[in-house]
Amino acid sequence: MLNDHVLWYVVVGLLTASMGTLAPLLKRPWISAPQLHLLAGLAIGPLGLGLISLKWTRDVALLETLSEIAVIVSLYAAGMKMRMPLRDGRWITPTVLASLTMTATVLLVTGAGFLILGLALPAALLLAAVLAPTDPVLADEVQVEDPDDDDRLRRALTGEAGLNDGTAFPLVLLAVGLIGRAIDQDLHPLGEGWWRWIVVDCLWKIGGGLVFGALAGRVFGRVILFIRRRLEPGPGAEELLTLGLIGLTYGLALLIDSYAFLAVFAAAVSLRGLEMNAPVSSTEDVDDDTYEDDAEGAKRLAEEQTRVADTLERVVQLFLAVVIGLLLSPARVGNPWAWLFAASVLCVARPAAVYATTWFCDLSHPQRALTAWFGIRGIGTVYYLSHAFGLGIAEALPDSSTLLADCAIVTIAASVMLHGFTVTPLMGWYSRCCADESTAAAKEDDSQTDRAEIA
């Protein structure tokens, strides 16, 4: 019998197998895996054959769960690639992007929702807040390519995506709380004078998530290294360990009522940092079959966690890109206001916010320009919108909840396609700019050396 259950198995199996088979095709310009998977979702969804459909109101629990898992995995993978200490000054730019830039973007997008869509300010703020997180996993050419990649642009975008999936949460809760107050319902408590939102939702949950995650990554890593000095890991241990660390960190962070997204990212960064802090007990080469040397063991642990997390990230990327395609109904795609709004978010709000808030950051002109352009929307938006619907937004905003979903999904789809088409040529241009700068710097060094020799 051909039903949704059977179709999901067929579609997922076909797409998963195609990831390996069509890998050479995805290395060509103008084509990316998320684009193909989104188109696959379109082909089997309401815009194509109509075999499978998803709706916010009916499938909100499923969408929230799927996107939550995808965000967790992508954050862990991003954190494992950020090979720099937590106190490193290079964190300044990602932090600015995930705080000042994100806030400026939310303000601008709120204005667009109010002026273009005619939404009430709380509803416009909610739409802006769910669109606040960036998501380089859907255009992975702008991610840090490996832990030794020290490119400021890639590190800025990867770090921003890791942080703002958590820092956007208070804004979503603020919008939900304001909507509840407008209709005299307690959708989310803000407290008198917003004290609860400031103290709990902002200060405690952000700070608690970051601190707990950093401590958890360090403690879990040292426990694992301690055990591995005495017991060699068995078959399949790497994959099980990755899933276990992600689940344990996320669950414990939720248990202390902190932002678990931030905790997972911080834990991965902290775990990655063990290899830089571990004392080397011997200068002799360490046999590949032993884990007696702390530095070597920490390095191996970080490398295996990065490799497994990267694989998991590609799988969840596939699922979510297909889901986005399935959510594009004819009515949603045919809404011209949604497309106008998406253009304002991607082409106006993000670039303006980046240029207004990063002028003091250590970014060159090409790096700032590409940072302004690659404000990619994706998995985080799906989660936050699903979470808001789960809190009762559909009932609280009966006249505008559909418009909110339309604009959010159209913006994600536009971002996947637009950034996917431009990422390869723009990053190629960026590589040439970097090469030209390196050549110019080398010539200047040679010139200075020659002048010194003459003197």
In contact, 91 and 348? CB cutoff 8 Å: no
**Separation CA 224–CA 293 (nearest Å):** 13
**112 in a domain, yes or no?**
yes
pLDDT recorded at residue 351: 96
**Separation CA 409–CA 334 (nearest Å):** 12
Counting the structural domains of the chain, the total is: 1
**Separation CA 98–CA 95 (nearest Å):** 5
pTM of the model: 0.88
Kindly give, in sequence order, each residue whose CB lies less than 8 Å from that of residue 302, ignoring residues fewer than 6 positions away.
Answer: 80, 83, 147, 271, 272, 274, 275
Letter for the amino acid at 416? V
CB atoms within 10 A of CB 334: 11
pLDDT recorded at residue 263: 96
User: Cα dist. 197→85, 180, 193, 200, 452 in Å?
Assistant: 30, 14, 9, 6, 61
- Residue 225's domain comprises 57-311+332-400+414-424
HEC profile for the chain? CCCHHHHHHHHHHHHHHHHHHCCCHHHCCCCCHHHHHHHHHHHHCCCCCCCCCCCHHHHHHHHHHHHHHHHHHHHHHHHHHCCCCCCCHHHHHHHHHHHHHHHHHHHHHHHHHHHCCCCCHHHHHHHHHHCCCCCHHHHHHHCCCCCCCCCHHHHHHHHHHHHHHHHCHHHHHHHHHHHHHHCCCCCCCCCHHHHHHHHHHHHHHHHHHHHHHHHHHHHHHHHHHHHHCCCCCCCCHHHHHHHHHHHHHHHHHHHCCCCHHHHHHHHHHHHHHHHHHCCCCCCCCCCCCCCCCHHHHHHHHHHHHHHHHHHHHHHHHHHHHHHHHHCCCHHHHCCHHHHHHHHHHHHHHHHHHHHHHCCCCCCCHHHHHHHHHCCCCCHHHHHHHHHHHHCCHHHHCCCCHHHHHHHHHHHHHHHHHHHHHHHHHHHHHHHHHHHHHHHHHHHHHHHHHHHHHHC
**48 in a domain, yes or no?**
no
**80 in a domain, yes or no?**
yes
**450 in a domain, yes or no?**
no
pLDDT recorded at residue 281: 46
**Separation CA 449–CA 381 (nearest Å):** 53
CA 246 to mean position of chain CA atoms: 15
pLDDT in tens, the chain (455 residues): 456 667 767 777 776 776 666 656 555 556 677 787 888 888 888 888 887 878 877 888 889 998 999 999 999 998 998 888 777 888 999 999 999 999 999 999 999 999 999 999 999 999 999 999 998 666 566 877 766 777 889 899 999 999 998 899 999 999 999 999 988 888 899 988 899 999 999 999 999 999 999 999 999 999 998 888 887 777 668 888 999 999 999 999 999 999 999 999 999 999 998 887 655 444 444 444 444 456 788 888 888 898 898 888 888 888 888 888 889 989 899 999 999 999 999 999 999 999 999 998 989 999 999 999 998 888 899 999 999 999 989 889 988 999 999 999 999 999 988 888 888 888 888 888 887 665 655 455 545 555 555 55
**23 in a domain, yes or no?**
no
**30 in a domain, yes or no?**
no
**Separation CA 1–CA 308 (nearest Å):** 36
Task: Please give the torsion angle defined by the CA atoms of residues 361, 77, 15 and 59, in that order, rounded to the nearest 10 degrees.
Answer: -90
pLDDT recorded at residue 292: 45
**12 in a domain, yes or no?**
no
CB atoms within 10 A of CB 442: 10
Q: What is the CATH number of the domain that holds 148?
A: 1.20.1530
> Which two structure tokens, joined as six digits, stand for 38?
């989104």
In tens, the pLDDT along 92-108 reads: 999 999 999 999 999 99
pLDDT recorded at residue 210: 95
**144 in a domain, yes or no?**
yes
